[in-house]
Amino acid sequence: MAKKLGLYPMSRDMCAIARYSDLLEGYTLSKLMTPSFMLLNGEDVSILDGGYLANMTLSDFTKEGIAECDTLFVEYCDSLKDLGLYKEAIESAELMGKEVIISRALAEKLEINISYTKGSCSPKHTSRNKLFDINVPVVMVFTQGAYADQFAVELALRKHFRGEGYKVGQIGSRECSNFFGFPSVPDVLYDCQDVYGNILQFNSFVKDLVDVEKPELLILGAPNAMMKYNNRILQGLGLLPYIVSSAVSSDVSVACMYYGSYKNSFYEDVSQFGKYHLGNPICFFSMANAAISSSSTPDISELEIICLDSEFVKKGISETVISDEYRLFNSLDSESIKRACIEVHDVLAGNVRYMR
């Protein structure tokens, strides 16, 4: 019997779980809770991410709401910095005997050590001097930073290719991947002291997964940002995406970007960065319903992200003049993401259709 899953506190990053709840494996979505002071009770989740109407309703956090769940997933949200809010939810759920799963970001804030890698962490295939070939088509999803709708893109690709009848193997960028029946990037990668060793170990991890599952397609989500924003906002220095892309070559690369009025030269630069640093040119760009505030300066120490809606982003995309080799889309608009998935599919099949 499927477990009833509750999410708290709902934020734009959590909306992907709600929007693709039909892909959950072993879980059904029960409660989407926010702190009562946010005054979002009864609102659709689209109010958080600016996407199409999801017909999924938010509710205030209450102990009665927790009681309706079997499992509570608690995620850290930058706009809710009071750790007491999270501790109250965790303690309430544990007192009721509920299963509690917290995100890696929240575990770090609460200084808790948690393993997110299920099963054995020791790969069957090991090598210190070579990378194993991964003999399936690979789609890799990168991000410019937090709140750029990366996980929504990963799930959209999964839904499309499974709907087309493909057996999909997948490794997600976030811990909540496990709710959807596929693993997240293994814990060992987050210890970046031995980048060389981590590349080899992740390559072995993927080799094992492919040998066991025998997928026809592999979707990889690279955690953390592709690069630093500046010398104060390091965003992991792009180490995890570098490790993932060095371990496995991609056939199609997607970059999830903050929305902006970029010129063609910007996309050329990002594509070339992908080619020479991440192993494959980036040709697909998901423009998020989020943008960096225009008040941000090059020497800021914290990004100020402003939320947008899909209609605004779609209009901006339609007015952007770029080379035909690049495709822009909005992952939170149903038609735009559907068209993008078809184009990715066509590139993999070697039969590209330019759909506008």
Fold of domain 3-109: Rossmann fold (3.40.50)
- Residue 222, C-beta contacts closer than 8 angstroms, at least 6 positions apart: 140, 141, 142, 143, 173, 185, 240, 241, 244, 245
Asked if residue 229 lies in contact with residue 185, where contact means CB atoms within 8 angstroms, the answer is no
- Statement: the pTM of the whole predicted model exceeds 0.85: yes
Is residue 79 pLDDT above 90, yes or no?
no
Which amino acid, one-letter code, is at 281?
Answer: P
Mean pLDDT, range 68-87, rounded to an integer:
94
| pLDDT-above-90 percentage for the chain | 79
| Per-residue pLDDT tens digits for 36-62 | 999 999 999 999 999 999 999 999 999
Q: Comparing C-alpha atoms, which of 125, 286, 114 is closest to residue 209?
A: 125
Beta-carbon neighbour count of residue 356 at 10 Å?
6
Domain spans of the chain, in order of start: 3-109, 138-349
Decide: residue 41, CB within 10 A, 0-12 exposed, 13-18 middle, 19+ buried: middle
The answer to whether the 3-109 and 138-349 domains have the same CATH topology is yes
What residues contact residue 116 under an 8 Å CB cut-off, 6+ apart?
104, 175, 178, 184, 187
| 3-class DSSP assignment, residue 77 | coil
Place of tokens 């997240």: 184
CA atoms within 13 Å, Cβ hemisphere of 60: 8
* Candidate CATH numbers 1.20.140.150, 3.60.15.10, 3.40.50.2300, 3.40.50.300; the one for domain 138-349: 3.40.50.300
How much is the average pLDDT of 296-318? Answer: 85
CA distance 356 to 334: 14
